[in-house]
Amino acid sequence: MEHFDVAILGAGPACLSLAYDLKAAGKSVAVVEENLFGGTCPNAGCDPKKILFSAEQARSQVAQLIGKGFAKNSVPQVVWSDLMAYKKTYTDPVSKEQIAGFDASGIKHFHGHGQLISANEIAVTARLENTVDNDTQSMVEKKQCFTAEQIVLATGQRARLLDIPGQEYFLTSTDFLALEKLPAKMIFLGAGYISFELAAIANACGAEVTILHHNDTPLRGFDQDLAQHLVQELTKSGVTFVFNENIQSVTKNDGELLTVTTDKASYETNSVVCATGRIANVENLGLEELGIEASGRGITVDDHLKTSQKNIYAMGDCIAKKEPKMTPVASFEGRYLKQLLLGETTEKIKYPQVPTSVFTLPTLAQVGVSSSEAKKDPASYKVEWFDMSQWYNYFRTNDPVAFAKIIYNKDSGEIVGAATLNQKADEWINIMTLVINLGVKKEQLQNLIMAYPSVGSDLQYYY
């Protein structure tokens, strides 16, 4: 039976940040992937989503400058088929390129479902087409087994579907990002960041969009003052929000017309995207048999990313953690495990402050201490609100809104938290993340000269 130093279940960003470094250090490495090599982010997640978002950005920039350099009726229409074709030029090669990278580096890879047979043995089951005769094909299972000294679980997560009648008609975010044709009318279930982002794209590309949510709190976990402003801006752009509606069922009528029934009303649509959360891929991995604790939230690990089995670790979106389940966090965990497994550190994993964003127009982003946390401890924190809409950097592109909240430590005066709603928020939040994680002081900032005008040159005004 083939034996490896390290086996990784899941070939997403966390795996990629670990596998190549382990191989470069002389370790023998095996990778098991059940779906597409490269993982969700580049194949059907943040990367293709941002390509579609780029079209939304370009269209919005022109729309904002009508009468300020652009003529009326000059707002471009997004051609969905062309946009999706462009997206495919990025996503289609991803899996093949990752496999080619493994081959070139000498990393053994298996395509199929991986399951722990013991603390050191993995079975990989692949379903293959078998040609019986010239006209008939059937599926057969092929099983391979190998052993490894150390095993790392990086199986990611998937969309959680509401368990209601008609759930078979749901589209997921993965389905949305593969739509050949954009439906005329779309309903998005849930008011989390995935719903907001995909609904905003669909709206900008010409669909009639409605977001249904079971309570009155959109974007739970984000600054609610800014979240409510974002709802107002998306409403102006044509997105309809319906709050405090519990979904009861989905039924199919003539053709492709669907009816979504809530406890208060019914809504007709051409498609229903269920974006009510995500669930960790922990089923059928053999975890229970080995006493490894796991649930829909993820696999339980300690502060060294170790499970209850001393040689089995987990990382990425499949672990239960308070940190955001995002690609950069998964990659960070992969880099940490590389150091741990190579004996370069024995320290506990220590996460920096992690920024989170809702990529709509305008974009909502935050990092560090939140305003709600600060309000609970007024002796330690001060919160300031900035309306930046007339600052030159936002005036020049006629941005409709540009708000920021800055949270300061009262004793040191340092910025410890930040949140914003503006069209340059992705740049803005990364700069604030540097300021917060590095503890940049006012006098240090004043001794820097930034390119002007830019998000960076505005930094001095927050101190």
Architecture of the 159-276 domain: 3-Layer(bba) Sandwich (3.50)
Q: Using the 8-state DSSP alphabet, how is residue 81 labeled?
A: H
Asked whether the beta carbons of 149 and 4 are under 8 A apart, the reply is yes
Asked whether the beta carbons of 313 and 337 are under 8 A apart, the reply is yes
* Residues 62, 189, 37, 81, Cα dihedral to 10°: -40
Is position 163 annotated in a ligand binding site?
no
Reported pTM: 0.95
According to the model, what pLDDT value does residue 131 have?
53
Is position 191 annotated in a ligand binding site?
yes
Asked whether the beta carbons of 299 and 307 are under 8 A apart, the reply is yes
Q: Do domains 3-44+83-156+281-342 and 362-461 have the same CATH topology?
A: no
According to the model, what pLDDT value does residue 256 have?
75
Residue ranges of the chain with pLDDT lower than 50?
Answer: none
Encode pLDDT of 380-433 as tens digits. 999 999 999 999 999 999 999 999 999 999 999 999 999 999 999 999 999 999
Asked whether the beta carbons of 393 and 460 are under 8 A apart, the reply is no
Q: Is the dihedral of CA 1, 22, 305, 279 positive or negative?
A: negative
Which region, left, alpha or beta, applies to residue 305 given φ > 0 means left and ψ of -120 to 50 means alpha?
A: left
3-44+83-156+281-342 CATH fold? FAD/NAD(P)-binding domain (3.50.50)
Dist CA 422 CA 365 (whole Å): 9
Which pairing describes strands 415-422 and 240-242: parallel, antiparallel, or unpaired? Answer: unpaired
Is position 254 annotated in a ligand binding site?
no
Question: 282: closest CA among 331, 323, 316?
Answer: 316
| Domain segments of the chain as ranges | 3-44+83-156+281-342, 159-276, 362-461
According to the model, what pLDDT value does residue 285 have?
98
Is position 413 annotated in a ligand binding site?
no
Q: Environment class of residue 229 by beta-carbon count within 10 Å: exposed (0-12), middle (13-18) or buried (19+)?
A: middle
Dist CA 276 CA 270 (whole Å): 19
Q: Using the 8-state DSSP alphabet, how is residue 348 labeled?
A: P
Dist CA 418 CA 408 (whole Å): 9
Tokens of 175: 């389905």
Asked whether the beta carbons of 337 and 19 are under 8 A apart, the reply is no
362-461 CATH fold? Enolase-like; domain 1 (3.30.390)
Is position 97 annotated in a ligand binding site?
no
Asked whether the beta carbons of 316 and 281 are under 8 A apart, the reply is no
Is position 277 annotated in a ligand binding site?
yes
According to the model, what pLDDT value does residue 254 have?
80
Is position 296 annotated in a ligand binding site?
no
Which residue has tokens 């959680």? 160
Is position 316 annotated in a ligand binding site?
no
Is position 45 annotated in a ligand binding site?
no
Is position 190 annotated in a ligand binding site?
yes
